[in-house]
Amino acid sequence: QVQLVESGGGLVQPGGSLRLSCAASGIIFSINAINVMGWYRQAPGKERELVAELTGSGSTMYTDSVKGRFTISRDNAKNTVYLQMNSLKSDDTAVYYCNAHKRSQLGRRYLEVWGQGTLVTVSS
């Protein structure tokens, strides 16, 4: 049973920092597929968007709006993925979701699991 448990959200002032954690259990990696962990967010009135992702090989990707401010990383010993968020802005306010999935060589997603979401509010 695959499960993602998120923590770290809360209220922070503009310019502040937060670190989100995603503890994963039951994740099975395959050499025949690309294993992906990611962070998504959904702000009020907007569609869900990909914030950052990290593959099993260590490659990362960030949406333009968070480049230079957010960092996705993992601790394999703790089976945990992190999202370090610095220089937070009001526009970063959203529910943040942890995601895990496998990606085929054709780019199709399968065996996808989502965390419950954690609310990040950036306000003075």
- For the stretch 44-77, pLDDT in tens is 999 999 999 999 889 999 999 999 999 999 998 8
- For the stretch 16-26, pLDDT in tens is 999 999 998 88
pLDDT over threshold 80, residue 30:
no
User: What is the radius of gyration, based on Cα positions, of the chain?
Assistant: 14
pLDDT over threshold 70, residue 28:
no
Could you give the 3-state DSSP secondary structure of residue 109?
strand
Higher pLDDT, 34 or 42: 42
Output the pLDDT for position 29.
67
Q: Is the dihedral of CA 42, 46, 47, 51 positive or negative?
A: negative
Residue 20: both structure tokens together: 């989100």
Average confidence (pLDDT) over 27-52: 88
Q: How many residues does the chain have?
A: 124
Output the pLDDT for position 77.
83
Q: How far apart are CA 116 and CA 3, in angstroms?
A: 10
What is the chain's mean pLDDT, rounded?
A: 93
First to last CA, the chain: 40
